[in-house]
Structures are given as C-alpha cells and as structure tokens.
C-alpha cells in the first residue's frame, strides 16, 4: 500500500446528478443538524459511483462545499481509505482477491487473465479506457475462492478460463452473470451434501 495521489488529469467540474443528490440528502438527513459533516464518507462513495468509480478533486471540493467543511478535511478522508479511488479506474473496476484462501485456490491465475485481457499493470486502464484491475485484500467470499469483484458484483469459483470469458463479455459491453461459476447457489456445499450429519467424524 503506497500513498495514493490524486490523478494528474482532473475534470474541471463535478456536480451531483439528481440521483446522487437524492441519495446524499437522505444520508445527511440521518445526522443531527450541524453535524452533516458525518456524511462525508458516504458522500465520497456516492461521488465515486457517479464518476465511474473514482473521485476527482473537483468532487472533493464539491462535497466540502456541500457539507460546509474545509476541503483539506475531505481530502484527508479520501486519501486515508484505500477503497476511494483517486485516479481513473475505468467504468468496470475489477478487484481480485489475493488473500490467502483465494491465493491457495489460484487467485494469481485470475491476475494473469487480467494482465492478458486488460492491462499489464495494476491500476492501468485498458486500451479502450473502460476497465482496470487491482489486487485487493480479502473480500469475504473465501468459501467461493478464488473470486473477483466487478463494480458491485462478485464473480466466484473462478479459474483462468472462466475469468477470460467474463472479461471478454465485459470488454464487449455485456454484463456477465454474477455469482458462482460452478453452479452453486451462494456458498452452498458442493456435491449436494447439505449437512454434515451423515459424516461420521464431523
């Protein structure tokens, strides 16, 4: 984890669209009057969602004005948390879990697939500027390892081939089906064994 710096290329302006504005207002309403600054983290996330998964400086400034707090305070929060992206990551933001359980189950194969399909390095935009990938820490889906996350969706029980297919679909603009790619429902046990009751030493 190194210091994440704001991108050199920044858009001039940023404004919440109507959907974001509504979401922001409903979050601010949760806090007492004059304590609206508490909503800064949620608002940064809303801004990130609206702006293809990254937060430009203009958005931080906008949020600072929106919540009546100094810019530096917003900037501090945005640079502190690693899940705020300060540079463009593409419309499809791919996060590959490489923490131990996924790693043991072959997460680096998924990384290879991303290197082939998207870009040589982490946090680098694909040729058509639509995707980027990065390695992240545990995403909490260890039972379905290895897995990756694209925007809000989890893609689980992957291997290199399946990943390549998913990435192909993404690059052509389709939305692949999220969830397990070995036909599991959520994280149910495989082989139809629903309980451990019939296992002798369980």
List contacts with other proteins (CB under 8 A).
1-4, 57, 70-73, 75-76, 79-80
Distance of alpha carbon 21 from alpha carbon 114, whole angstroms: 34
The label of the residue with tokens 């629903």 reads 194
CB-nearer residue toward other proteins: 12 or 152: 12
Toward other proteins, which CB reaches closer, 45 or 75?
75
**How long a stretch of residues is the chain?**
202
The radius of gyration of the chain's CA atoms, rounded to the nearest angstrom, is 20
Nearest distance, CB of residue 80 and other proteins, angstroms: 5
Please report how close the Cβ of residue 64 comes to other proteins at its closest, in angstroms.
Answer: 9
Structure tokens at 134: 């990065």
Token pair of 121 as six digits: 């390095």
DSSP assignment letter at 37:
G
**Residue 40 main-chain phi, psi, to 5 deg:** -60, -40
Smallest gap from Cβ 6 to other proteins, in A, equals 8
For the bound state, the minimum distance from the C-beta of residue 10 to other proteins, rounded and expressed in Å, comes to 10
Q: In this complex, which beta carbon is closest to other proteins, that of residue 1 or of residue 199?
A: 1
Between 11 and 70, CB nearer to other proteins: 70
Distance CA 168, CA 94 (A): 13
Other residues' Cβ atoms within 10 Å of the Cβ of residue 166? 23
**Taking the complex as a whole, how short is the minimal distance between the CB of residue 122 and other proteins, in angstroms?**
17
């Amino acid at each position: 984890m190194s210091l994440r710096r704001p991108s050199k290329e920044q858009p001039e302006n940023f404004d919440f669209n109507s959907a974001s504005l509504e979401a922001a207002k409903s979050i601010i309403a949760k806090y007492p009057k004059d304590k609206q600054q508490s909503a800064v983290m949620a608002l940064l996330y809303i801004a990130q969602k609206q702006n293809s998964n990254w937060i430009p400086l203009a958005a931080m400034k906008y949020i600072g004005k929106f919540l009546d707090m100094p810019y530096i305070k917003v900037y501090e929060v945005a640079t502190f948390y690693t899940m705020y992206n300060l540079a463009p990551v593409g419309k499809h933001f791919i996060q590959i879990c490489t923490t131990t359980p996924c790693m043991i189950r072959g997460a680096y194969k998924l990384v290879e697939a991303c290197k082939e399909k998207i870009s040589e390095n982490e946090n680098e935009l694909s040729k058509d500027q639509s995707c980027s990938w990065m390695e992240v820490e545990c995403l909490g889906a260890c039972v379905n390892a290895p897995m990756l996350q694209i925007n809000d969706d989890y893609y689980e029980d992957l291997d290199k081939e399946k990943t390549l297919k998913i990435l192909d679909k993404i690059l052509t603009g389709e939305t692949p089906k999220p969830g397990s790619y070995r036909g599991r429902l959520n994280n149910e046990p495989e082989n139809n064994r629903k309980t451990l009751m019939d296992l002798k030493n369980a």
